[in-house]
Amino acid sequence: MKPRLPRTPAAVAGAALVAAMVVLAVIGPPIWGATAERIDAAAILQGTSTAHPLGTDSLGRDLLARVLVAGRFSLALALAATLIGGLAGIVLGALPSVLPGRAARLITGAVNALVAFPGLLLAMFTAVVSGLGARGAVLGIGVAIAPGFARLTQTLAATVAGSDYVSAARMLGVSRRRVLTGHVLPNIAEPLILQLTQSLGGALLGLAGMSFLGLGVQPPSFDWGRLLFDGFARIYVTPEVALGPAAAIALAGIGFNLLGDAMAKAAARTAPAGKKRTAAVPPDPGEPDPGAVLEVRGLSVAFPGGATPVRELSLTIAPGEIVGLVGESGSGKSLTAAAIGGLVPYPGTVGYGRLLLGGRDVATLSGKELGTALAMVFQDPMASLNPALRVGGQLAEVAIVHQGAGRAEANRRAVDRLGHVHLPDPAATARQHPHELSGGMRQRAVIAMGLMATPRLIIADEPTTALDVTVQRQILRLLREVTEETGAAALFISHDIAVVGGLCDRVMVMYAGRVVEELPVARLAAEAAHPYTRALIASLPDMDTDRDRPLASIPGRQPAPSDVGPGCAFADRCALATARCAAERPPLISYGEAGRVACWEVK
């Protein structure tokens, strides 16, 4: 499908301005041509009057008519310059992909040097050499445009030339010329045409500038730049005579720019946003639990367009407890963490019956209270430290901002915390930038950052997924140690039920935005009740797994939260599913000792 122009007012305005220019170029000279050339000795150098709305020039010719007539010449010159520059640039840019190495490098080097050179200087140089006048200006602007085209063509051609179908054609003995015309050029035509359109506006402004300096079109010919040159000389007496050509040049420039922007946007368009939807607030959540560090009742996260990736989630975490949240990607576990931390990205909305941290609604907590009570650790340690700042400074600012510590005290504490997470030389680490640390060291630094204050809850969202296995184990041990030492609770989010089983006290299993089972880790292996949890455990290889057989996996895929019907989301993949499972969603009810499960087939 060909990309279509978006119907934004800017795109429409751009297209309308360019269309008006084209129409003016066609009808201008035949309609106003005679008026524009009519000399009137009785009306020279006039300002605005009813007969001459924009005044007259030194020969008494009507300036409005001259502006309207000059459109054709201005546009034609710009078109000529763009074609010259485009053609020269495309040839220069395509040559390296078909020439032998040394010549190709020479051309590439020359193009790179010219691209960094201001176009106006190139244009003036060329104009001097080829003689003042329209011809010299067109050639000059063409030369100024060419390097940009050459660079674009080079980049595009290099991409195409490296592709498999060009290698194949070369192996089949197709000549270099045929490769260029048959394979390379057709595949880069579209972006080049876009560039041509955008350059047209630039060429028009460049030519206007040259003529305005007196280096372009010379009398008796005239374009908008030349009319502005004449008008500018009289600006102290009758400023309105400069208005017509100035407005014409500005409108043309704006028109081409808006149209070019719209065309570029149409080539890479994103889907429009759907209607807005707010997460529903669930009914009364009952009495709060005074001893809990975190208490969540009826948490939902909704996005415009109807997607609700987290639904009616409830969980409670006691002091010092490590709770695991397990699920496949897309089950809503990371958004749950983001919702608790107040970090759900716009346009998502969070609804909850109760969201208490240390017994208080998170919405009522100040930034200082949240920043010290809650520590977060994310998946990718490469990305979660600021590359521009020293590690120590990023830790210290927590103490400076939230605890009123001085710089020296904050730095001392940062070094102390870095030592706490077993970084070998904490003082040196504090002075380093993140890129100087390994992935494991960075994740330790992020954990140390969480320990700068006295966190009551650490939310770790897949903290070991990006690390290799030995480092993974060290980080898990560190998390366990940190919670034991500080008494902080932790919510540990992972897709790996084995990791969760090794670290946590209690496990919650999420599927398609809901919790389907919750139970103490000790009973995970033997007493998991939900078919999904059991399937997850069964898919883990252990020492007894027969290595000749394929790894066990769960057939089918997790549905997107918006695709779930009225029944159990797992029903399609469940061996035990009945008609009731597809029609009616099972509630999350108490099961066994300290466990909950949502399944009709568990009795």
Site for other proteins in 346-375 (CB under 8 A): 346-347, 367-368, 370-371, 374-375
CB of 36 to other proteins, least distance (A): 22
CB of 410 to other proteins, least distance (A): 13
Which tokens is 380 given? 């990718």
Nearer to other proteins, 129 or 193 (CB): 129
Per CB under 8 A, contacts with other proteins among 180-209 are 201-202, 205-206, 208-209
- Least distance (Å) between residue 386 CB and other proteins: 4
* Closest C-alpha to 324, from 460, 125, 139: 460
Range 443-470 burial, b when 16+ CB lie within 10 A, else e: bbbbbbbbbbbebbbbbbbbbbebbeee
Matching residue, tokens 């429409």: 12
When the beta carbons of 68 and 156 are compared against other proteins, the nearer one is 156
Rounded to 10°, the helix 240-267/185-212 angle is: 170
Is 425 a binding residue for other proteins by CB under 8 A? The answer is no
Place of tokens 């992972």: 494
Contact 54, 241 (CB under 8 A): yes
Backbone dihedral region for residue 565 (phi beyond 0: left; psi -120 to 50: alpha; all else: beta): beta
Site string for other proteins, 264-303 (x = CB under 8 A): ---------x------------------------------
* From 69, 263, 335, 376, residue interacting with other proteins (rule: CB under 8 A): 376
307 binds other proteins (CB under 8 A): no
Tokens at 431, concatenated: 């002075």
CB of 51 to other proteins, least distance (A): 23
Give dist(CA 433, CA 438) in Å, integer: 11
**Contacts of other proteins in 32-91 (CB under 8 A):** none
- Shortest approach of other proteins to residue 459 CB, angstroms? 8
Question: Interface residues for other proteins in 510-569 (CB under 8 A)?
Answer: none
Q: Identify which range of 356-364, 398-406, 548-556, 586-594 contacts other proteins by CB under 8 A.
A: 398-406
Q: Which of 341, 426, 513, 595 binds other proteins (CB under 8 A)?
A: 341
Measure Cα distances from 20 to 25, 68, 280, 492, 554 in Å.
Answer: 9, 11, 51, 62, 62
Cβ atoms 395, 482 nearer than 8 A: no
State how far the Cα of 137 lies from the Cα of 76, in Å rounded to an integer.
13
Backbone φ, ψ for residue 112 (5° rounding): -60, -40
Binders of other proteins among residues 443 to 462 (CB under 8 A) are: 446, 449
Kindly state the tokens that stand for 24: 């003016």
Residue 155 sits in the site that holds other proteins (CB under 8 A) = yes
Q: In the bound complex, what is the minimum distance in angstroms from residue 401's beta carbon to other proteins?
A: 6
**Residue 117 CB, nearest approach to other proteins (Å):** 6
- Choose, by CB under 8 A, the member of 118, 424, 550, 566 that binds other proteins: 118
Site string for other proteins, 217-256 (x = CB under 8 A): -----------x---x--xx--x--x---x--xx--xx-x
Closest CB 322 distance from other proteins, rounded Å: 19
- Give me the least distance between CB of 108 and other proteins, in Å please: 12
Nearest Cα to 430, choosing from 438, 417, 440, 443? 417
Closest to other proteins by CB, 170 or 277: 277
**Residue 481 near residue 493, CB atoms below 8 Å:** no
